[in-house]
C-alpha cells in the first residue's frame, strides 16, 4: 500500500514538473514570436511597399553610338602643322585681329601647345586640327585652313602614337577643303562617304575629332539647318560655302574632322563655328559631303579644283525688281559683265535677266551658279534671256572661273563728293548732278548718273538700302543723267509701283573686290505718302 502511495506521489511530482517545463517552453516560444513580430512590424513601417534592389549580371549593351565610335574613331586623325612666321608677318597678323572676329572662330588655333618656339628672330607656329581617312591608301580629307601656309604637316592616328609626315595633294579655298596623304606602309581603315542631300533637319549628327587637343572626342546632336551661309562679311564670304548647321558640340581643333550620320557615314567636314566667347555655343558648320566628294575627286585627278564661269556678277533680285525687268517667274538679274569674259563675248549685257539654261528654268542665283560651276570649261550653254522684257536665246562658252575673275581687283578710289547746287529730293533721298571735275576725282568712268548726297532715315530709299555717295545710274530701266531725269521718273510713279534703282557703289578693300565701282539693283514697292 505504501508503495502505491509513493508511486502516485512521484507521478504527481513528475506531472507538475512537466507542466512547469512545458509552460516555460511555451512562454519562451511565445515571447520569441511576439518579439520577432514587433521587430518585423517596426522594420516594415519604414518602407512597407519597398522591394530590395538587385545588381544584374554584367551585359554588353547594344549602343549605336558606341558602335560608331568603335568603327570610325580609328579613321579620324590628329593633324599637327608647323610654319615659320617672320616677326613682321606676325605683327601684321596680330594687328589685323578684330574683336568682331570672335563671332566666327575657326576650330584650330595657334599656340595650342604653349608659347611658340623662338628660331633666331623667327617664330615657329604650331597648329592643330583634325582629319578623316577616306581611302585605304592614306588619303585624308581636312580643311584648307588647317594646312594653309604650313611648312610641315604631320598626322597621328588615334590608335597609333607614331607621327606620319603628310603631303598636301591639293586645296580649295572656295570650300575650305584640302586633301593630304600619308604613307603608312599598310592599308589604313577609312570611313565611307554619305549623301548629304538625304540629310534632314532633326537627323542625328555625330562629330569626332581633337577639340582643344583632346583626342578621340565624340559628341552628338542634330542637324539644325541646311544650306546655311555664315554671315562673315563680304571679305570672307565664299560663293560655294553653304553649310550643314549642327548643335553637336564642336570646338577649336575639331576643324577638318567628320560629321557623321547615325549609320556612321560622313555627311560633312566640320569647318567653322560661330561663337561670341570663342567656345562652343551650339552653332557648328560642316561642308556637306556631296560638295566634299566633288572637290576630292578633282584634287586627286588634277591636284586642283576647276569651276566653270560665264563672267558675270549678279544679285538675287527681289520680285519687284524682276517684275520691272519682265521676269515674272524668277530669274537672275545680271549686275556686271566681266570685261573680256565669256558673257561679254556672247553679247550679254548688264540688266539682262537669265531665266533658263539649256531649257531648264533658273529661279535664282544659286541655281545658276550650281549649273555653271559644274559645267566643264569649254562647254557651250544655251541661255534664255530677257532684255527689255523681250526673250532672247543666246549661247555662251563656259570659262575657267579662276581665269575669268583673275583681274577683278583694282586700286582704291576716293569717295564721291557732293555735287553742284542743283539738287532733287525724291524717294527720301537728295541727289545732285556730277561735274566733270568730280568724275575725274572719283575716277568714275561711266556716263550719266547722279550722286546721292543724303538719305532720309526711315524713307523708302533708306528701306531698300540706298546710302549716301551712291551713284544712281538708272531707275526702272530708264537711264539717269541728271536730277531732272530723277524728277521726271518720280512724277510718273504712283503708290504701289515697283521701283528698281541701278546703283553704283564704291567698294573698298573690305568688300573683297578691291575698290572698283560695283553695280547694285535695289528694289521695292513704292509706299503711299510720296517719299
Nearest to 129 by CA among 111, 150, 143, 116: 143
What cell does 205 get? 549628327
CA 329 – CA 309 distance, rounded (Å): 24
**Residue of 73, 130, 145, 375 marked catalytic:** 145
Angle (CA) 275-280-286 rounded to 5° is 85
3-class DSSP state for residue 112? coil
Instruction: Find the catalytic residue in 255, 309, 375, 419.
Output: 255
Within 10 angstroms of residue 159's Cβ, the number of other Cβ atoms is 10
For residues 139 and 52, what is the distance between their CA atoms, to the nearest angstrom? 56
478 is catalytic: no
DSSP 53: -
Residue 176 among the catalytic residues? yes
Cα(105)–Cα(279) distance, rounded to whole angstroms? Answer: 9
Name the 3-class secondary structure at 217: strand
Which three cell numbers, joined as nine digits, stand for 28? 519562451
By C-alpha distance, which of 468, 526, 518 is closest to 500? Answer: 526
Query: 129, 150 in Cβ contact below 8 A?
Result: no
The residue among 225, 293, 281, 227 whose CA lies nearest residue 252 is: 281
C-alpha cell at 460: 523708302
Residues whose CB falls within 8 Å of the CB of residue 1, separated by 6 or more in sequence, listed in order:
none
**Whole-angstrom Cα distance, residue 339 to residue 342?**
9
**Residue 145 bears catalytic tag:** yes
Asked if 427 contacts 459 with a C-beta cutoff of 8 angstroms, the reply is: yes
CA distances for 215 relative to 74, 106, 114, angstroms? 11, 18, 17
> DSSP readout, 170-202?
EEETTTTEEEEEE--SS------B--GGG--TT
Contact 152, 166 (CB under 8 A): no
Question: 3-class SS at 70?
Answer: helix
Bridge partners for 146 per DSSP: none
Residue pair 346/396 in contact (Cβ under 8 Å)? The answer is yes
Kindly give the residue spans of alpha helices, DSSP state H, lying in 303-380. 319-324, 342-346, 365-374
> In this structure, what is the dihedral angle of CA atoms 16, 22, 26, 27, given to the nearest 10 degrees?
50
Catalytically annotated residue among 73, 130, 172, 176: 176
Q: How far is C-alpha 52 from the chain's CA centre? A: 53
Q: What is the DSSP letter of 418?
A: P
**C-beta separation of 378 from 283 below 8 A:** no
Residues involved in catalysis: 145, 176, 255
Amino acid at each position: 500500500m505504501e508503495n502505491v502511495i509513493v508511486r502516485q506521489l512521484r507521478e504527481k511530482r513528475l506531472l507538475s514538473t512537466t507542466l512547469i517545463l512545458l509552460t516555460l517552453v511555451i512562454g519562451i516560444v511565445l515571447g520569441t514570436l511576439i518579439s520577432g513580430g514587433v521587430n518585423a512590424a517596426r522594420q516594415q513601417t519604414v518602407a512597407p511597399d519597398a522591394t530590395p534592389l538587385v545588381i544584374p549580371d554584367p551585359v554588353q549593351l547594344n549602343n549605336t553610338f558606341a558602335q560608331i565610335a568603335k568603327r570610325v574613331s580609328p579613321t579620324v586623325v590628329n593633324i599637327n602643322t608647323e610654319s615659320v612666321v617672320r616677326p613682321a608677318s606676325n605683327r601684321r597678323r596680330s594687328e589685323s585681329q578684330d574683336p568682331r572676329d570672335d563671332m566666327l572662330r575657326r576650330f584650330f588655333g595657334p599656340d595650342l601647345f604653349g608659347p611658340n618656339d623662338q628660331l633666331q628672330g623667327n617664330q615657329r607656329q604650331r597648329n592643330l586640327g583634325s582629319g578623316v581617312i577616306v581611302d585605304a591608301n592614306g588619303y585624308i580629307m581636312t580643311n584648307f585652313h588647317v594646312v594653309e601656309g604650313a611648312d610641315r604637316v604631320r598626322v597621328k592616328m588615334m590608335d597609333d602614337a607614331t607621327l606620319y609626315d603628310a603631303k598636301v595633294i591639293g586645296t580649295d579655298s572656295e570650300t575650305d577643303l584640302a586633301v593630304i596623304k600619308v604613307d603608312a606602309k599598310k592599308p589604313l581603315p577609312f570611313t565611307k562617304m554619305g549623301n548629304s542631300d538625304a540629310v534632314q533637319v532633326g537627323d542625328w549628327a555625330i562629330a569626332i575629332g581633337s577639340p582643344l587637343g583632346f583626342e578621340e572626342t565624340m559628341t552628338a546632336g542634330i542637324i539644325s539647318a541646311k544650306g546655311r551661309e555664315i554671315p562673315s562679311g563680304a571679305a570672307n564670304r565664299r560663293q560655294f560655302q553653304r553649310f550643314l548647321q549642327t548643335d553637336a558640340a564642336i570646338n577649336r581643333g575639331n576643324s577638318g574632322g567628320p560629321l557623321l550620320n547615325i549609320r556612321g557615314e560622313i555627311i560633312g567636314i566640320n569647318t567653322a563655328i560661330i561663337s561670341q566667347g570663342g567656345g562652343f555655343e551650339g552653332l557648328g558648320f560642316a561642308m556637306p559631303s556631296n560638295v566634299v566628294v566633288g572637290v576630292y575627286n578633282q584634287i586627286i585627278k588634277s591636284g586642283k579644283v576647276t569651276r566653270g564661269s560665264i563672267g558675270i556678277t549678279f544679285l538675287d533680285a527681289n520680285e519687284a525688281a524682276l517684275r520691272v525687268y519682265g521676269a515674272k517667274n524668277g530669274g537672275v538679274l545680271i549686275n556686271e559683265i566681266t570685261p573680256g569674259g565669256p558673257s561679254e563675248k556672247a553679247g550679254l549685257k548688264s540688266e539682262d535677266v537669265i531665266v533658263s539654261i539649256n531649257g531648264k528654268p533658273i529661279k535664282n542665283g544659286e541655281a545658276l551658279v550650281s549649273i555653271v560651276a559644274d559645267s566643264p570649261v569649254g562647254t557651250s550653254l544655251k541661255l534664255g534671256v530677257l532684255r527689255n522684257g523681250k526673250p532672247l536665246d543666246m549661247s555662251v562658252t563656259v570659262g575657267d572661273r579662276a581665269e575669268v575673275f583673275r583681274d577683278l581687283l583694282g586700286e582704291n578710289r576716293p569717295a564721291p563728293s557732293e555735287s553742284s547746287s542743283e539738287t532733287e529730293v525724291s524717294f527720301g533721298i537728295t541727289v545732285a548732278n556730277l561735274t566733270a571735275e568730280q568724275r575725274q576725282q572719283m575716277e568714275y568712268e561711266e556716263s550719266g548718273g547722279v550722286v546721292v548726297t543724303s538719305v532720309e532715315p526711315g524713307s523708302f530709299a533708306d528701306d531698300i538700302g540706298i546710302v549716301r555717295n551712291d551713284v544712281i545710274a538708272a531707275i526702272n530701266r530708264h537711264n539717269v543723267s541728271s536730277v531732272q531725269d530723277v524728277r521726271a521718273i518720280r512724277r510718273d510713279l504712283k503708290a504701289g509701283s515697283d521701283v528698281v534703282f541701278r546703283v553704283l557703289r564704291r567698294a573698298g578693300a573690305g568688300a573683297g573686290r578691291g575698290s572698283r565701282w560695283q553695280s547694285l539693283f535695289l528694289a521695292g514697292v513704292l509706299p503711299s505718302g510720296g517719299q
